[in-house]
Amino acid sequence: MKKKSIYISNLSWRHEDFTSIIKLIKTHKISGVDIAPIKIFKNWKNVEKKVKKFNKILRKNKIKVNAIQGVFFKTNLNLFDNVNKNFEKIENHLKLVLRVAKVFGCNKIIIGSTEFRNKKKISKVYADKIFINFFSKFKKILKKNKIYFCMETIPKQYNEKYIFKLEHLLYLIKKINSKYIKINFDTSLFHYNNSNFLNLRQNLDQIKTFQFTEKNFDYFLNPSKNNLKIAKMIKNSNKVNEISLEIIKKKTNIKYLSKSIINLKNLLN
């Protein structure tokens, strides 16, 4: 079985402590990071220029960027608001994110965000039509750049109003029908819902990015039963070989981050 590459999200620490994080990454020999740009730069203004500067630090330390996440944070964009007016703004923003991904040499962009896809009062059927039509526009540019959009299912408990079931996302992905539009699977989905492990196992080929999380994005100190079961499934599969650990913290705790990385590595390799 192929050894798994393990990454950690930069949402897990305070950016000012990145020097300590570099040491952590090297100590545990993990492959790199998932990057939420706004955790580093605070806003999207001149983000391309800022990313180039930060990427020099990553390259110097041979740290790979696995995926870009948090791409709609602090944008006030909603896919279902004023569709005709908003489509162009959203399209331009995603093209900016594509350019950021290329600077990092990264080929995966995670698209979640409860605010971006809050369908409010429109029907699910109409929301599906808008979602499919909009993201189908990107099929050519994604193919040209060989970059993946990885759509995420988010639990209702995190205030998600639209895509909170894996079955629904699978339907949307298949309707869009693009090699470069796949799924980001966050294990938090199984913390709150009846777990359909068979459905997950049967659709591993639709998953491009895989994130392990604990409830409320806490440290991976005592992995849940579902995470243990999912880890066993992934360990015995060649379909998923790049796995991320997502923890969300305002402060940096090297001790807990270190233990979390060790726990995930021990489960997967």
pLDDT greater than 90 at residue 83: no
Asked whether 245 and 211 are in contact (CB, 8 A), the reply is yes
| Nearest CA-CA partner of 247 in 238, 256, 236 | 256
pLDDT value at 42 more than 90? no
> Residue 94: is its pLDDT beyond 90?
yes
At residue 250, does pLDDT exceed 90? Answer: yes
Cβ distance 73 to 38 under 8 Å?
yes
Please identify, in words, the CATH class of the domain defined by 5-268: alpha beta
Q: What is the pLDDT of residues 97-143, one digit of tens each?
A: 999 999 999 999 999 999 999 998 899 999 999 999 999 999 999 99
Question: Is residue 243's pLDDT more than 80?
Answer: yes
* Rounded Cα gap, residues 100 and 47, in angstroms: 8
User: Residue 195 pLDDT more than 80?
Assistant: no
Q: Which one-letter amino acid corresponds to residue 243?
A: I
Q: Is 31 exposed, middle or buried, given 0-12, 13-18 or 19+ CB atoms closer than 10 A?
A: middle
Q: Average pLDDT of 205-213?
A: 94
Per-residue pLDDT reduced to its tens digit, 7-17: 999 999 999 99
Q: Where are the domains of the chain?
A: 5-268
